[in-house]
Amino acid sequence: MALPFRTRIAPTPSGYLHLGNAFNFLLTYGIARQNEGSVALRIDDGDATRVRQEYLEDVFASLDWLGVDWDTGPSGVVDHQKHYSQQHRQEEYRHALDQLLDAGLAYACQCSRKQILAASSDGRYPGTCRENMARSYEAPFAIRARLDDSATQVVIQAVNGQSQNSNLEASQGDFVLWRKDGLAAYQLVSVWEDEQDQTTHIVRGLDLWESTTAQVWLSQKLGFHNFPKVKFLHHPLLMNDGNEKLSKSAGATSLKSIREQGGKPTEIFRRFYQWLGIAEPAPDTLKGICQGLSLEGQWGTKLWP
């Protein structure tokens, strides 16, 4: 029996959110509401070294300003920190890691970034430590995935019913599962959270295509039931005037800056429709935005890199 439509908004509190984040939120929210689905708020704060209180506060302030609500997840900063933070679940992530270690699908790596770059022309991990056993090493060390033959043919499903094979081995090689500082790495955290939440649809930028490939492969090796069936929409990124990906900062494109300068959500809605390639004027309400949402614009069928 198929699960009900369930997606998530998953900001990382490592900086002030920008227009690109807003567009992703609106797209995710709109698709969910059009499909009578539910939206979870999941704050990806597993990397404790980058989290700041003001960035957490900005997540809730930005969503409230846009009018985006959610069906499950924290009600505010304090609720998140007490009950939802990924920093509470390092033990659960470690259990998943142990499963991979026991299956011979992970190993210890003490290589520095400098050493990897010196040994690899494309920056892809060259497999220097591949024969090491993780439990025989003293910290600090990272733990990497030991890719098997299936990593060359990872099938990714799209929201439009298409699918595509992605070669994980060629794109990034043995990626990090556990960091040298003792924290679970993003790929392991993200796939574990989505499996537990029974996510059915994920909307993310094209820059996360390799992450999608890694997470689908991981979900199969961990024996997850739900995540291998997730349908993805990979959307183009919003770029700055220099054709560079927007960064999280307090600059002109940050939602915080726009709010403080008197900007209105309706201006964000207008630019969102332009980004989608929708010719009609953008409605003034979020409900209207959801009702008029279409993926048949200038990039709606481009779901692959």
For 148-195, write each residue's pLDDT tens digit: 999 999 999 988 778 889 999 888 899 999 999 999 999 999 999 999
Please indicate whether residue 284 or residue 279 has the higher confidence score (pLDDT).
284
Give the CA distances from residue 49 to residues 14, 53, 94, 115, 207, in Å, rounded to whole numbers and listed in that order: 9, 12, 19, 23, 22
Query: Is residue 304 domain-resident?
Result: no
Angle between helices 90-102 and 186-197 (to 10 degrees): 100
pLDDT band of 304, cuts 50, 70, 90: very low
Query: Is residue 221 domain-resident?
Result: yes
The β-bridge partners of 250 are: none
Phi, psi of 119 (to 5 degrees): -100, -10
Give the CA distances from residue 7 to residues 77, 97, 181, 213, 296, in Å, rounded to whole numbers and listed in that order: 21, 25, 31, 18, 21
| Pairwise CA distance, residues 297 & 280, whole Å | 11
Identify the pLDDT of residue 303. Answer: 47
| Pairwise CA distance, residues 174 & 229, whole Å | 23
Phi, psi of 14 (to 5 degrees): -110, 10
| Pairwise CA distance, residues 155 & 165, whole Å | 5
| Pairwise CA distance, residues 215 & 192, whole Å | 9
Most confident of 51-60, 108-117, 137-146, 161-170: 51-60
Q: Are 47 and 41 in contact (CB under 8 A)?
A: no
Query: What does pLDDT average to over the chain?
Result: 89
pLDDT band of 128, cuts 50, 70, 90: confident
Query: Is residue 301 domain-resident?
Result: no
Number of domains in the chain: 1
| Pairwise CA distance, residues 268 & 289, whole Å | 11
Give the tokens for residue 51.
Answer: 């989290």
Query: Is residue 174 domain-resident?
Result: yes
Q: Are 156 and 164 in contact (CB under 8 A)?
A: yes
Query: Is residue 298 domain-resident?
Result: no
Q: What is the pTM of this model?
A: 0.91
Query: Is residue 297 domain-resident?
Result: no
CATH number at residue 204: 3.40.50.620
Query: Is residue 192 domain-resident?
Result: yes
pLDDT at 1 over 80: no
Domain that holds residue 84: 6-292
| Pairwise CA distance, residues 107 & 115, whole Å | 17
Identify the pLDDT of residue 107. Answer: 94
| Pairwise CA distance, residues 170 & 104, whole Å | 20
The β-bridge partners of 7 are: 39
Q: What is the largest CA-CA distance in the chain?
A: 62
Amino acid at the residue 249:
S
Query: Is residue 260 domain-resident?
Result: yes
Identify the pLDDT of residue 251. Answer: 66
Give the tokens for residue 166.
Answer: 């992605």
Phi, psi of 42 (to 5 degrees): -125, 115
